[in-house]
Amino acid sequence: MTTDAHINPFEPPEQRRVKIAGDFNEGVLGRATKAIYWYIVLTLLLAIAALPTLVLTMLLVPEPSNIPFFALACLPLGPALSAGLFTVRARYTDEDLAPSRTFWRGYRRNWKDALRLWVPALVVVGIIGYSVAFADLAGIGAAYRIVLIVIAVVVALFAMHALVISTFFSFRVRDVSRLTAYYLVVLPKTTFGIAAMLIISATAAYFSPLLLGLLGGILTWFWYQIDKVMLTDIWTRFTKPSEEQAAG
């Protein structure tokens, strides 16, 4: 019990592999094949869970008047991404765990918590996007447009961090919000990493939603790697049992 209390649940545990002659899975090629298969399955699961998003974004005409509908179409993404993150983390603890079983377990467990912060973020970004798109008609000046765009970017980054925290920790919404705001500031490298990932995702979605769907598994893996520092810090400072508690 004492040892388990000090194992970082967000890092792969040190495992001693027992080599068995003729075991294909023990070779470099075997492990690589297993990993590729695993992430292909994860990509397919993400695409299935986010199918309404993919279909609606392909059907909608990319024009300013449809911005609210694009925001609405992204609603299923929150629970899907949360389940994807949950699955990526599970791969560290059990490489042989079936990704489909883990994915849907994470989906059932976290979909409500994911939507609690994902929906408000979509509403804010949708309203800002619509306002900026029709800034001339609304009489919004250039400086105010820049402010609105900055707010939208911050809200998007906030939503990404909050989704990660709510996926792995059972905190109240206000506590998740406070932690998210804190780590947006104190972990600038992590925040910039998430911003870069958002840019890559937006670029892929601009060319084709299907392209973004094909990158879903690998982008989710990178997302987990970027936010792993934050997750470890939260676990260490706010949830990790003390030595006395573990010993008892």
Q: Is the pLDDT at 153 greater than 90, yes or no? A: yes
Q: Is the pLDDT at 173 greater than 50, yes or no? A: yes
Q: What is the pLDDT of residue 94?
A: 64
Round to whole Å and give the CA distance between 224 and 202. 18
- Angle at the Cα of 145 from the Cα atoms of 209 and 64, rounded to 5 degrees: 40
Count helices and strands (H / E) in the chain.
12, 0
Q: Is the pLDDT at 177 greater than 90, yes or no? A: yes
Q: Is the pLDDT at 158 greater than 50, yes or no? A: yes
Judged by DSSP in three states, 62 sits in: coil
Q: What is the pLDDT of residue 11?
A: 77
Mean predicted confidence (pLDDT) in 64-84:
92
158 contact partners, CB below 8 Å, separation of at least 6: 121, 180, 181, 184
Q: Average pLDDT over the chain, rounded to whole?
A: 84
Whether 144 and 117 have beta carbons less than 8 Å apart is answered as no
Round to whole Å and give the CA distance between 141 and 139. 6
Residue 12 has a CB neighbour count (10 Å cut-off) of 11
Reported as a single tens digit per residue, the pLDDT across 198-239 is 999 888 888 888 888 889 999 999 999 999 999 999 999 988
Q: Is the pLDDT at 44 greater than 70, yes or no? A: yes
- Whole-angstrom CA distances from 93 to 41, 149, 185, 233 are 18, 40, 30, 19
Q: What is the pLDDT of residue 165?
A: 96
Highest-confidence segment of 91-100, 116-125, 140-149: 116-125
Reported as a single tens digit per residue, the pLDDT across 105-143 is 999 999 999 999 999 999 999 999 999 888 887 778 888
Whether 130 and 186 have beta carbons less than 8 Å apart is answered as no
Round to whole Å and give the CA distance between 229 and 233. 6
Mean predicted confidence (pLDDT) in 10-37:
62
Q: Is the pLDDT at 74 greater than 60, yes or no? A: yes
Mean predicted confidence (pLDDT) in 51-62:
88
Reported as a single tens digit per residue, the pLDDT across 189-200 is 999 999 999 999
